[in-house]
Chains A and B, each alone.
Chain A
Amino acid sequence: MLYSSIGYYALILGLGISLILVYFSIKNFQNSSTLNTRILSFTFLQFFLVVISFACLIISFVLSDFSNETVFNNSHTTKPLFYKIAGTWGNHEGSLLLWLLVLTLFILIFFLKTKNQPLKYKLLTLIFQQIIIIGFFLFLIQTSNPFNFIFPTPEEGMGLNPILQDPALAIHPPILYLGYVGSSIIFSSALAATYLNLVSKVWASHIKKWIIASWVFLTLGILLGSIWAYYELGWGGFWFWDPVENVSLMPWLALTTLLHCIIVLEKKQVLTSWVIILSISTFTLSMCGTFLVRSGILNSVHTFANDPERGLFILVFLFSLIFISLFIFFFFHKSSPNNSNSFFWLSKETSIIINNWFMMYFLSVVLIGTIYPIFLEVLSSQKISVGPPFYHKLIIPFLIPFLMAMAIGPKLKWIKSNIVDKFYLVLFFAISIVLSFLIVKKFSTNLLINTILVSSALYLFFITLRDFFIRKYSNISQNIAHFGFSLLILSILLNNLFSSEIITNLKVGETFTSSKTKIVFKSINQKQEKNYKSIIANFSIENINQKIEDLSPELRIYNQPNIVTSEADIKTTLLSDKFIVINIVQNQDYFNVRYQVKPFMLWIWISVIVISFGGLLSFFKKEHEK
């Protein structure tokens, strides 16, 4: 109980400090030319208070203090310690505390690391960031207090959904938020720079590191979410175009676009308006995503709270931020004079503009697909579902020229370029087409579209690979990142083409035989674990080469809350995953067995790590090495 009180009052104090910070910053802005050191101290104090509050919540979870309503709703004495801790941010209130933690941390780091920037710029960034922070403090204290008391204190908690007890999911929110929430700094500093007319090459170099850092975390965060979905949810998929997934993808698309633009702005004073718009949009999309996921307006596997009061708060907050941004952009932004805008049509600037063009298209597809059903329902009371077919139909055709542009673009020089390496560009083009034709012909229908798709991915793959080996790249981090992206698309395509599946009903001791596979349901073990009863089914699977694999999927019957989960058994190798899952069929004594062979799954994860690694390299590159 004590910890809940400390945590709560730490939040109230933190809110108070926000107001103090805004006051001092405005005064400092108008008066002095050196930083009032009290501001730095208060920023640190604010962060420290949020840390205390967060720690108190963790402690309450670990101690199973059920007088705290959040702990009561989301924990249970039999939960393992690691998941008690992770349960802190696995719920609506706790995750908002995580939001605050990242918001305050980033502004603190911003202040510590920007010694050389103009004072007014730093102060104004702080002010804008504090506006966001105040909003979240209010939101937390008013509608989502993690430290509500319930009396009398219950004996036991309501438990946490066992699907959420997974290591990947435990670290998914912190990593994701470092990217997602971290884009707040980009938002605040872009607004500050716009107001002070400081959007320039210098500012671009400075903000670039923040963009890369946010981007790397966001990429890894999305990866962790997909890995969790694949290993834990039991349907063998990793991306479903579910609204919550889309909500994390949209800021990523905007951020990637911004990353490319900032590279241009670093070199020349162009695209300033566009950079500002992107900076504002990234965080706006994050906030919009928060709204969609927490307000109950969407229907999804992993929405958080379903509370319209909270939804209304975030909605008003979100649109306040939008209108502030619009105001500042329209009244304070002065476009750069036109004479510096000239570049030849065949140049790196153009290829980046083409990147922007396509990325904005992809962003609009995801945004419209996610939001349109909501609007349609309001206007016409008709409910439609928008799922993978919509996104695939609109995105896949455009991927083809996009991949080609990714291959050729980096090879172009600034301002004006002719294409070197013409021979290799054409040679690889031919090789890609032939190779993909061979691959696709063997295994699939839809020969034409698949061939073209695979060949464009292969093209990017070969070009970036060759560039890497002969060191003919201007920028190693970009080379690695593009290579990773080609690997990602290739892995997804090949996985899609070559995956196969058997669904059948089997009793213990029965065997399923097909022309290529034999599945034997050998036996069943039952065990009582700490907070669930476990039923493990033992299978042995024989494929056409007489190679036998043993797989043991599990069913878990939990006591608190009362649900049954299916844990797939997945054998991962470099070449493919073998995936098996069983389910109870209501009132029958056989099980529903689903066996899938999924090639290249591991490469999908590896490729995203390669992409992030490229970004990471760029982050650590020293200024003078460029």
Chain B
Amino acid sequence: MKNKLLLIFISLIFIIVFILFYKGLQNTNIYTPETKISNKIPSFKGDLFYSDETINSSNFFNSDKFYLLNVWSSWCVPCRKEHTFLMNFKESKKIEVVGINYKDKKINAENFLIELGNPYKKIIFDQEGIIAIEWGAYGVPETFLIKDKVIIKRYIGPLDEKTAKEIKSIIK
């Protein structure tokens, strides 16, 4: 009798383990950091691309506009593809496009912008990649939609039709 009880108990445990594994299979294992503790913009100091002046995060973003912060580099292939979408936002009055040039050489970055156009009102030159980490990014390209010094949306990977549409509808 005692043996049968033990058997049922152990079988139950294994059934639970089976269900947990089964559910685990359904999950993707590519990590996208959806869960962040706060979505306020980070405080940072950085050098501007064209002028070498140092700016502070507190006076970089004004409260009334939307900002589109894009992390990019000249050596990043998907950045080329998403660049047209960024150019589309250049003329918009509702949103200002700013860039973080990630681990790049100034010459190559400038050539990139000459070739594909410059949508960025301002560019931060992040040669060592540490400002990107302040933002919680870990690669290129990544894009952040900001309002009121808060990150509303984050896009990992290049922008495309769908995400560009989404941004457009948010800033209306």
Direct contact of A and B (CB under 8 A): yes
Using CB atoms and an 8 Å cutoff, list the residues of chain A in contact with chain B: 291, 295-299, 306, 308, 311-312, 315, 319, 322-323, 326, 330, 374-375, 377-379, 381-383, 586-588
List 16 other contacts, CB 8 Å, given A586-B104, A587-B74: A296-B25, A297-B25, A299-B29, A312-B22, A315-B18, A315-B21, A322-B14, A326-B10, A326-B11, A330-B3, A330-B4, A374-B20, A374-B21, A382-B35, A383-B35, A588-B105
13 A–B contact pairs at CB < 8 A? A295-B25, A299-B29, A299-B31, A306-B29, A315-B22, A319-B14, A330-B7, A375-B20, A378-B27, A383-B31, A586-B75, A586-B103, A587-B108
Complex: chain B residue closest to A322, CB-CB: B14
Looking at chain B's contact residues, the main secondary structure is helix
Bound complex: CA A325 to CA B75 (Å): 56
Once the chains bind, are A377 and B27 in contact (CB under 8 Å)?
A: yes
Complex: chain A residue closest to B106, CB-CB: A587
Once the chains bind, are A297 and B3 in contact (CB under 8 Å)?
A: no
Question: B88 on the interface (CB 8 Å rule)?
Answer: no
Once the chains bind, are B18 and A587 in contact (CB under 8 Å)?
A: no
Given contacts A586-B103, A587-B103, contact A308 B26 (CB under 8 A): yes
Complex: chain A residue closest to B28, CB-CB: A296
Bound complex: CA A301 to CA B57 (Å): 37
Complex: chain B residue closest to A295, CB-CB: B25
Complex: chain B residue closest to A383, CB-CB: B31
Please name the 4 residue pairs, one residue from A and one from B, whose CB atoms are nearest each other, closest first.
Answer: A378-B23, A330-B7, A374-B24, A587-B105
Complex: chain A residue closest to B109, CB-CB: A587
Bound complex: CA A312 to CA B24 (Å): 10
B104 contacts which chain A residues (CB < 8 A)? 586-587
Nearest Cβ distance between residue A331 and chain B, in whole angstroms?
8
Using CB atoms and an 8 Å cutoff, list the residues of chain B in contact with chain A: 3-4, 6-7, 10-11, 14, 18, 20-27, 29, 31, 35, 73-75, 103-105, 108
Once the chains bind, are B29 and A296 in contact (CB under 8 Å)?
A: yes
Complex: chain A residue closest to B75, CB-CB: A587
Bound complex: CA A326 to CA B23 (Å): 23
Complex: chain A residue closest to B104, CB-CB: A587
Q: Which of A295, A299, A319, A381 contacts B18 (CB 8 A)?
A: A319
A312 contacts which chain B residues (CB < 8 A)? 22, 25
Once the chains bind, are B24 and A375 in contact (CB under 8 Å)?
A: yes
A378 contacts which chain B residues (CB < 8 A)? 20, 23-24, 27
B27 contacts which chain A residues (CB < 8 A)? 297, 377-378
Looking at chain A's contact residues, the main secondary structure is helix
Complex: chain B residue closest to A589, CB-CB: B105
Once the chains bind, are B11 and A323 in contact (CB under 8 Å)?
A: yes
Complex: chain B residue closest to A374, CB-CB: B24
Nearest Cβ distance between residue B136 and chain A, in whole angstroms?
15
A319 contacts which chain B residues (CB < 8 A)? 14, 18
Nearest Cβ distance between residue A385 and chain B, in whole angstroms?
10
B6 contacts which chain A residues (CB < 8 A)? 330
Bound complex: CA A552 to CA B18 (Å): 50
Nearest Cβ distance between residue B37 and chain A, in whole angstroms?
12
Q: Which of A308, A326, A383, A586 contacts B25 (CB 8 A)?
A: A308
A-B pair number, CB within 8 angstroms? 63
Bound complex: CA A586 to CA B105 (Å): 9
Bound complex: CA A375 to CA B16 (Å): 10
A299 contacts which chain B residues (CB < 8 A)? 29, 31
Nearest Cβ distance between residue A295 and chain B, in whole angstroms?
6
A311 contacts which chain B residues (CB < 8 A)? 25
Bound complex: CA A299 to CA B18 (Å): 19
Nearest Cβ distance between residue A224 and chain B, in whole angstroms?
27
B108 contacts which chain A residues (CB < 8 A)? 587
Nearest Cβ distance between residue B84 and chain A, in whole angstroms?
23
Bound complex: CA A295 to CA B26 (Å): 10
Bound complex: CA A295 to CA B31 (Å): 17
Bound complex: CA A16 to CA B108 (Å): 63
Q: Which of A297, A323, A326, A330 contacts B24 (CB 8 A)?
A: A297
Nearest Cβ distance between residue B56 and chain A, in whole angstroms?
26
Complex: chain A residue closest to B102, CB-CB: A586
Bound complex: CA A114 to CA B17 (Å): 37
Complex: chain A residue closest to B108, CB-CB: A587
A379 contacts which chain B residues (CB < 8 A)? 20
Task: Identify the interface centre among A297, A323, A586: most chain B CB within 10 Å of its CB.
Answer: A586
Complex: chain A residue closest to B3, CB-CB: A330
Nearest Cβ distance between residue B6 and chain A, in whole angstroms?
8
A586 contacts which chain B residues (CB < 8 A)? 73, 75, 103-104
Bound complex: CA A312 to CA B35 (Å): 28
B31 contacts which chain A residues (CB < 8 A)? 299, 383
Complex: chain B residue closest to A315, CB-CB: B21
Bound complex: CA A322 to CA B12 (Å): 12
Once the chains bind, are B7 and A297 in contact (CB under 8 Å)?
A: no
A330 contacts which chain B residues (CB < 8 A)? 3-4, 6-7
Complex: chain B residue closest to A307, CB-CB: B25
Bound complex: CA A319 to CA B18 (Å): 7
Bound complex: CA A382 to CA B25 (Å): 15
A383 contacts which chain B residues (CB < 8 A)? 31, 35
Bound complex: CA A296 to CA B30 (Å): 10
Nearest Cβ distance between residue B19 and chain A, in whole angstroms?
9
Task: Identify the interface centre among A295, A377, A378: most chain B CB within 10 Å of its CB.
Answer: A378
Once the chains bind, are B25 and A315 in contact (CB under 8 Å)?
A: yes
Nearest Cβ distance between residue A262 and chain B, in whole angstroms?
24
B23 contacts which chain A residues (CB < 8 A)? 378
Nearest Cβ distance between residue A215 and chain B, in whole angstroms?
26
Nearest Cβ distance between residue A379 and chain B, in whole angstroms?
8
B18 contacts which chain A residues (CB < 8 A)? 315, 319
Complex: chain A residue closest to B24, CB-CB: A374
B14 contacts which chain A residues (CB < 8 A)? 319, 322-323, 326
Bound complex: CA A323 to CA B31 (Å): 34
Nearest Cβ distance between residue A599 and chain B, in whole angstroms?
33
Once the chains bind, are B29 and A297 in contact (CB under 8 Å)?
A: yes
B20 contacts which chain A residues (CB < 8 A)? 374-375, 378-379
Complex: chain A residue closest to B105, CB-CB: A587
Nearest Cβ distance between residue A274 and chain B, in whole angstroms?
15
A326 contacts which chain B residues (CB < 8 A)? 7, 10-11, 14
Bound complex: CA A18 to CA B26 (Å): 33
Nearest Cβ distance between residue B5 and chain A, in whole angstroms?
11
Nearest Cβ distance between residue B33 and chain A, in whole angstroms?
9
A308 contacts which chain B residues (CB < 8 A)? 25-26
Nearest Cβ distance between residue B75 and chain A, in whole angstroms?
6
Once the chains bind, are A298 and B26 in contact (CB under 8 Å)?
A: no
